[in-house]
Amino acid sequence: MIDTISVKTSNRTQFLDITSQLSGFVRESGVKDGVLLAYVPHTTAGITINENADPSVTRDILMVLNRAVPVSNEYQHAEGNSDAHIKASLMGSSVTVIVSGGRLVLGTWQGIYFCEFDGPRSRKVNLKLISSE
């Protein structure tokens, strides 16, 4: 079975920390050991795991992505959001996290981020929790 969480973004580009939503999903599932797959079914958004202790990290990532892939360029795509497609491809569309003792196994400073590149929008993250019990 696939579950879904909703994400609402407020800017064209932003990282939203969804760690607590995913942790809550795992907790409520009752699964003690296994793997959580989080998949973003959008071509202009992505997902990543990175530091969540210092918000300047995500600002720095967005700054570098915006420099490397500017909004305006000689893109061929008629919708005008080619930069968002490229950034989403660079970030990736899924993350897999180990679940142990009913909790996500993340590093001390790690968080899971929804990466918006063509907002603001209402988005989804599909979740598949696979129990090893």
- Provide the pLDDT for residue 73: 84
Distance CA 82, CA 79 (A): 8
Q: Write down the pTM of the prediction.
A: 0.95
Distance CA 115, CA 117 (A): 7
Q: How large is the average pLDDT for residues 27-46?
A: 97
Indicate if the pLDDT at residue 72 is higher than 90. no
Domains along the sequence of the chain with CATH: 3-131 (2.60.120.460)
Going across the sheet that includes 110-116, the strands are 14-17, 110-116, 45-51
